[in-house]
A and B are shown apart, each in its own frame.
Chain A
Amino acid sequence: MQAPPLKPNAAAGAHHHRANPTLLAALGLPTEVPADWRARALTKFDELLHTRRSLKLYLDTCVRCGACTDKCPFFLGTGDPNNMPVARAELLRKVYRRHFTAAGKLFGPLAAGEELTDAVREQWFTYFYQCTECRRCAVFCPFGVDTAEITMAAREIMASIGLATKYVSEVVDKAHTIGNNIGIPEAAWRDTCRFLEEELKEQTGADIKLPVNQAGAEVLLVPPSADLFTNTDTMMAYGKFFHALGVSWTTSSYASEAGNFGMFLNYEHLKKVNRRIVDAARQLGVRRLVMGECGHAWRAAQAFTDTLNGPLDFLEKPRPEHILEYAVRVIRQGRLKLDKSANDGLAVTYHDPCNLARAGGIIEEPREILRLIARGFREMPADTIREKTFCCGAGAGLLTDEIMETRFAGVKPRIEAFCASGATHLAVPCAICKAQFPVAFEHYRIDAQVVGVMDLLAKAIVL
């Protein structure tokens, strides 16, 4: 996609609803921005610089070469220069230079340092919540600066002074109190599973179970809770898949969420949300931990679990395992009978969720599956897939209505690539992407459907 003409402040008006005092209190955060917020923010900044060596490295390393500028979907979509990854990071970097480098401490603005003013703080809130931590910029950075880490640090500093979005805070709170992002309590979880079992019976004629809290099962499958709300085809697909394999599995009503919105708020909540999964796996006595179709869940679970709440040495390797890795493994072992023609007539392309492709190494697995089960599979343009994938525009806490214009802008490069593929079906293993694309398709007047990779695989499984 061509770089757009610069439109300064084009996205300056996009504001998330702020978390209210009740919600902030529930999360142990200051209920309003305190009078001494500047000192507190700098203290937190200092703490992060000492606990995350990567952050200091990323803040020091950038030479402003500009390689990242036109790689961010939000810059491409909005034209706002503050959405160039280098410029967004500069909002934090200039405060870093002023307060944490010798030159900045001595010479301030002469060393390109800037005070942390009210205006800077508000810019942080605006632009660090227009970054989906998708890390496409990092792929193109010659020094490997990971701007997502900078966004995460900025959000953590903001949270420490009571600045958080309503959406992220609400979801984190539900994950802590109910066990999942949507807020489905155990009774409703069981009721939904029973209903979907009936649906599976109608579809396949088989008695396929969607077990809940079944101690001693081989596999604990942790799906995004959206699989029991909107993406029920995916939930049913897991059931048919394990049924065909004859593998005992279960979900947990305690750890009923793969996603981890703590990652979009701060370390403490990332760890606390993640903890539930480890506790549930231990308590149910499972041998394998498998994560469902969710992008950032995989990053949180795979990259961080061992550090946060590990070790996971009571589980079999790989621990955890992504459902698509699991599927490829059993397909290669010849344990599934597949009928390729089940998806005939569908022109399918695949969208790499950022966190699977760039943060979790799940790139070839979905393609291997799709090539086996969908004759109409085709790719989007090469510079928009695999590790160069374009974000859906709604990850990392952006999947909320009040910033719909930002979401439409952020998804635009992906939509253009999708149109170039000529596909009618977009296969995507991520609940956030699955929620964002239908809205985006409607906005851009594209007649296409969004499906899970597991949905298509389940269709092809012969029982």
Chain B
Amino acid sequence: MPAITLAGKQFDVDENGFLQDPAQWSDEVALGLAQTEGIEKLTDEHWKVVRYLREYYMKFHVAPSIRMLCKQTGLPLKQIYQLFPSGPAKGACKLAGMPKPTGCV
């Protein structure tokens, strides 16, 4: 299993660099994962998306629908793509320390 060093600690990740154990997530880990996505700095808007995803995931064990994410954060999809160039289901979910949504997505 691949591993990655974030904030001086080792973490198991999947082939796409998603954290294997969502419980290991912290703000520092999110900052480290941002680097792997080529995101230099996390703005308030980044955090708004990440925290919403995280909160939803902890409650429902899955990512929210993209429409709900946009509505609840007040950010249009286009802007979410600007914040997370690989998209909400990839970049944003990765930073939130949750598994990569797979299926017909």
Could you list which residues of chain A lie within 8 angstroms of chain B, going by C-beta atoms? 17, 20, 166-167, 170-171, 174, 180-185, 187-188, 191-192, 195-196, 199, 224-226, 228-230, 232, 259, 294, 399-402, 431-432, 434-435
Contacts and interface: CB of A to CB of B under 8 A. Distances in A.
Interface of B: 1, 15-16, 59-68, 71, 89-90, 101-105
Q: Which of B16, B66, B68, B104 has the most CB of A within 10 A?
A: B104
B63 A229 contact: yes
B105 A435 contact: yes
Contacts of B15: 17, 166, 402
Contacts of B61: 183, 185, 188
A183 B103 contact: yes
B62 A183 contact: yes
Contact of B67 (A167, A170, A199, A224): A199
A174 B103 CA distance: 9
A180 B103 contact: yes
Nearest to A295: B104
A188 B103 contact: no
A20 B14 CA distance: 10
Contacts of A199: 67, 71
Given A17-B15, A226-B104, A259-B104, 17 more contacts: A166-B15, A167-B102, A181-B103, A182-B101, A188-B61, A191-B60, A192-B68, A199-B67, A226-B105, A229-B103, A232-B66, A232-B67, A399-B105, A401-B16, A431-B104, A434-B104, A435-B105
SS class, residues of chain B in contact with chain A = loop
B65 A228 contact: yes
Contacts of B65: 192, 195-196, 228-230, 232
A182 B102 contact: yes
Contacts of A183: 61-62, 101, 103
A182 B103 CA distance: 5
B60 A229 contact: no
B65 to A, nearest CB: 5
A400 B104 CA distance: 9
A185, A188, A192, most chain B CB atoms within 10 A: A188
B105 A171 contact: no
Contact of B60 (A174, A188, A230, A431): A188
A269 to B, nearest CB: 15
Contacts of B105: 182, 226, 229-230, 399, 435
Contacts of A399: 104-105
Nearest to B16: A401
A184 B62 contact: yes
A402 B14 CA distance: 12
Contacts of A402: 15
19 contacts: A170-B102, A171-B102, A180-B103, A181-B103, A182-B102, A183-B62, A185-B62, A192-B65, A192-B68, A195-B65, A195-B67, A226-B105, A228-B65, A229-B66, A230-B65, A232-B65, A232-B67, A259-B103, A402-B15
A225 B68 CA distance: 15
Best-buried of B61, B101, B105 by chain A (most CB within 10 Å): B105
Nearest to A18: B15
A195 B101 contact: no
A185 B103 contact: no
B68 A195 contact: yes
A166 B100 CA distance: 12
B104 A185 contact: no
B62 A230 contact: no
Nearest to B66: A230
B13 to A, nearest CB: 13
A184 B68 CA distance: 14
**6 tightest A-B CB contacts, nearest first:** A181-B103, A431-B104, A182-B103, A188-B60, A226-B104, A232-B67
A199 B67 CA distance: 10
Nearest to A236: B67
Contacts of A192: 64-65, 68
A455 to B, nearest CB: 13
Contacts of A401: 16, 90
A185 B59 CA distance: 11
Nearest to A229: B65
Contacts of B66: 229-230, 232
